[in-house]
Amino acid sequence: MNFTVLSHAIHSSFIPVCYSVNVRANVQEAGRVEVQIERVVRDDFAEMITLADMTLPDRMNLHELKKYMELFPELIFKATYNGQLIGFSCAGIDMYQTTGWLLFSNVSKEFQGQGIGKRLIEARLQALRQFPTLRTVQVTVSETNASSIRALSAYGFRLAHAEQDYYGPGKHRNLMELPILPMIQPEKIESSIVIT
């Protein structure tokens, strides 16, 4: 497995704290599949919608994706294989920058089950962790979505509670949560040491 570090120009000034984020783009060789994870750009938009319509019809739409792109451009990642879009995922963060959300994720059917969904979770968590005030990451998932639940559990997400009729009658969702431990700054550790 090879790891490459790439950094990308960020095309929004919405969240200045993220200007310094270096996106790690993994190049993974799993059999013949070489998949790269990186931030999306506006040119990906049409392909993203086409893919979402195939993987999860009636969930994502042009307007929702546009909003995510405008609000959280630095929290949206794509998976590509030989330059072709084969997956993407969106995250967001609340106005207090304490609660992150995994908002949407999908991988093209023929590439599912190869760890790409997990890498898209990892990329979003890594980007969200750049917010020093982050305390929790939440995600809603259908209880029948076994691969999502398994992938999220691998990153420490646990069931918080079930929400009945979340997306309308009969469309229940489970809320899963990942607590984030505050990062202790080295200078704070130093100042808390009492020498007697």
Residues near ligand COA (CB under 6 A): 55-56, 104-107, 112-118, 145-148, 150-151, 154
- Choose between 114 and 130: whose C-beta lies nearer to ligand COA: 114
**Minimum CB separation from ligand COA for residue 54, in Å?**
9
Q: Which residue pairs, CB below 8 angstroms and at least 24 apart, start in 43-50?
A: 44/78, 44/85, 44/88, 45/69, 47/85, 48/78, 48/85, 48/88
Q: Name 78's bridge partners.
A: 38, 88
**Minimum CB separation from ligand COA for residue 66, in Å?**
17
**Minimum CB separation from ligand COA for residue 195, in Å?**
48
- Which residue's Cβ has the minimum distance to ligand COA? 117
- Choose between 23 and 123: whose C-beta lies nearer to ligand COA: 123
Residue corresponding to tokens 């949560």 = 177
**Minimum CB separation from ligand COA for residue 126, in Å?**
15
- Choose between 80 and 105: whose C-beta lies nearer to ligand COA: 105
Helices in the chain by DSSP H: which ranges?
A: 45-55, 62-71, 116-128, 146-154, 186-192
Q: Which residue pairs, CB below 8 angstroms and at least 24 apart, start in 157-164?
A: none
Does residue 11 contact residue 72 with C-beta atoms inside 8 Å?
no
- Choose between 114 and 126: whose C-beta lies nearer to ligand COA: 114
**Minimum CB separation from ligand COA for residue 9, in Å?**
27
- Choose between 10 and 28: whose C-beta lies nearer to ligand COA: 28
Whole-angstrom distance, CA of residue 24 vs CA of residue 150: 23
